[in-house]
């Protein structure tokens, strides 16, 4: 991925964080994903008074891409208001594994704008998977 596209992916995650609906935790998260055809989809976390019904920013972005018919994720950017880097939660890792392989780049972005990149397989080395039905 070239620097311009990487910067754009990061900026879209930062912009998505601004739209977070997090009145209960006050923990804003923004994410963006890059699909294999170069499109970027973004999402923010959206909370609910029934905590289990909330959705994380990463899953929000993945579902937006899936709705648009995209099935291959090559990079993800995740940011919050934390000084430290945050990584996708377990549920998000499982959802990402449906559309991203172990070589997908995960770009972690601190509140100060510092970045750290890791391969998806580093944060989710052995995703549980079912064999997909063949038509």
Active-site residue list: 58
Please name which of 57, 30, 40 lies closest in space to residue 1, comparing C-alpha atoms.
40
Please name which of 52, 59, 123 lies closest in space to residue 91, comparing C-alpha atoms.
59
Q: Taking the CB of residue 122, how many other CB atoms lie within 10 A of it?
A: 11
Tally: H helices and E strands in the chain: 4, 5
């Amino acid at each position: 991925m070239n620097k311009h596209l990487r910067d754009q992916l990061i900026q879209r995650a930062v912009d998505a964080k601004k739209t977070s609906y997090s009145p209960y935790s006050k923990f804003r998260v923004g994410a963006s994903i890059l699909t294999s055809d170069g499109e970027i989809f973004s999402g923010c976390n959206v909370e609910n008074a029934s905590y289990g019904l909330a959705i994380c920013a990463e899953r929000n972005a993945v579902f937006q891409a899936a709705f648009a018919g995209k099935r291959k994720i090559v990079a993800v950017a995740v940011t919050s208001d934390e000084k430290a880097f945050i990584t996708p939660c377990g549920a998000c890792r499982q959802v990402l594994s449906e559309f991203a392989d172990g070589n997908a780049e995960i770009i972690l972005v601190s509140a100060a704008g510092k970045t750290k990149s890791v391969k998806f397989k580093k944060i989710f080395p052995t995703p549980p998977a079912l064999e997909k039905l063949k038509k």
